[in-house]
Structure 1
Amino acid sequence: MSLTVKSIVENQLLKGVRIVAGFLGEAAPITWVNVMEILDSPNSIQRGELLVTTGYKLDSQEMFSDLISILKKNGVSGIAIQTGCYLDKIPSYILEESDALGFPVLEIPQNYTFSEILRVLIQKINAEKSEPELTDESSRSMFLFIHDTLSQHAIRLFEEDTAKAAYLFYIRPINQYAVNESTAQSCLNRIKSYLSDQAETCAYKTNKNGTAYFLMIFEDEGKYLSMIYDFSIVLTFLSEQQGMNYYVGIDRIKSTDSLYLSFEHVTDCTDLLQSIHAKRGVCSYDNMTFIKMFGVLHQNEHSFVSDNQALQILLNYDRINHTNYVQTLRFYLADNCNISRAANRLYIHRHTLQKRLDKIYNLCGINPDDYYARLYMSISLLFHDYFAF
């Protein structure tokens, strides 16, 4: 998939960058990045390029009244203007002309250097160019590795009287070029460590583009179900603490012969997460209908998280005081308000959990005995974990 103005923003390749005009052209493919601090030769910008500039003297409409029309005519994919240096804000005539012509305009915060912008975007462009060939080769390698490993366990795994359950996990990084290489590797290692601790058998193979496939064999389906929500929380923490986002597709493997179908299913899952504009998240093939409905609800109600005042109070309190009341509430709600079970998963005494719940109630007033209050908070937490920055 080609790099576009839209994907730069949605995938947080450059944090804080936003589209401010020309939304109709946001899907145009970007083939290269051209930096021009002084806009003295706009006709030299080539088709498919993204022009990056500080906007020096761009506040002079007399000098640049035809800039956007020239770029649009030449097939340029968009313009990214850095504010805070020569411009406090992007001039209105630029925004108006861009909206009229459907020519996308990005606003870049002052803290980015041109070298950093080039590094992130050109790495992404080069990765996208090599992705089809890499994916074809790596997919065969991945499939053979998982198939061979699965075959070693097939006899005891697919017996009629066994409770064991095998799952294929597909880990797909969304914005690995927005973080440095060591951070991306550290995040992937944390995922490997977490998943390896959860299953009876965990075999995995990673790819140069950051994707990974995991064959997970659990003692029974209940073991899988008890860990999957926890795993989504791990992904949320990696996003909030490290700035790294992942899509995860999951499918249960019914037999060795159905493995190829599972490979297709996990890809369908991550494609669905992308189509609903999730920032990160886990999607199992069995739950695709719910995730799709979830995405429709998100499109129709963009302020779901911010409208939940109780959740905002807890998020802000945790942020300021370095506490983990939101995490506590997640587990408590996920375990159907069973204090003993939630306490065990949090590795705390049930009395400690009760004190935390009392604190949560005093902070934000949520009553866990109220079914609708629990449901509203559970949905709000899901929206936060899938869609919030």
Structure 2
Amino acid sequence: MSLTLEYFYQKTNQNYNLNLLTDSVSLNKKITWVYLLDDVNNSSFVRGGELIITTGLTTKNTKKLDYLINEAYTKGACGVIINTGMYIKTVPSRIIEFGEKNNFPIFSMPWDTHIADIMQEYCNEIISEQKIVSLKNSVFLRSILRSSSEEDKQILNQFIGYRIVASKIPLSLLHFAKVELDNIYYYICSSNNINFANQNIGLSNKIESINDMHQYYIQANKALKVSFIKEQYLMYFSDIGLYDIALSIDDKYVHNYAHKLLSPIKDYELLNTFRVYLECNGSVNLVTNKLFVHRNTINYRIHQIKEQLCLDLDIPENKLKYLFAFYICDCDNEQF
């Protein structure tokens, strides 16, 4: 569960008489802490994600309040509660307009509500949630390292139906657990929540057995690698095909042999045509359509390839051997 403004507002708005003044803004922002901020000079202590409470003790109903709200927004606070009644009688319309314009939630809370009560409730739940999150992350790490204990099963069972997601950079997405391992970030989450442009991401199959967590981790890692190979930002393990086998081969002899098989072809255009020809199972028509090259040109290139490799491409085993050589060579990409 992610502790968001929406969660706390729906749960406590009646108890603390909270009033959302910025109706059109999103409350789907995670709260990291609750911070009482009256002196704008203390805004440097806001690290991001805090829900700010201000009484107006030093700002009152002046332009200083505008500055404090702007500082809270700039520092990455998730929202502001303005304690009204003593120093700030009503929240100025310009403050509400600022929140609406910047998708920054502004709440009001009456003076007779005890600030200590709301801070204690929110912070206690945040601390409790942090402990749970830490435990889930630890269980996740142990599971992919194949060192889970019997006590971990209760949490692991909650992973059923989700996927492991792998990325080379941290992701901002709803997740159930996360770990960093060998400079790769892994998350447990639903694939329905993943929609990242310009970011390579690999997804495992849906988790069906908690005893196979290490395999799902391997799947996500392989899918991530293939996303770079195929230059596709989102890659599911179920779609990587022969790369599943190619990425499992660590034998240097096999990799060297694959490069040696393709080494006689020095011309990139010929090499690319050969690959497409193999991927199209020897169909010249399909190759012509893919490369937008005349059929006679394709036939001429294939003839050159056969001569340079001294190869009979009518033998299925030969086509499979060279196609797999391309896959293995792909797996030597340094960007992994």
Q: TM-score range by the shorter chain?
A: 0.3 to 0.5
- TM-score, normalising length: structure 2: 0.37
Larger Rg, first or second structure (1 or 2): 2
- TM-score, normalising length: structure 1: 0.33
Higher relative contact order (CA 8 A, sep 6+): 1
Higher helix proportion (structure 1 or 2): 1
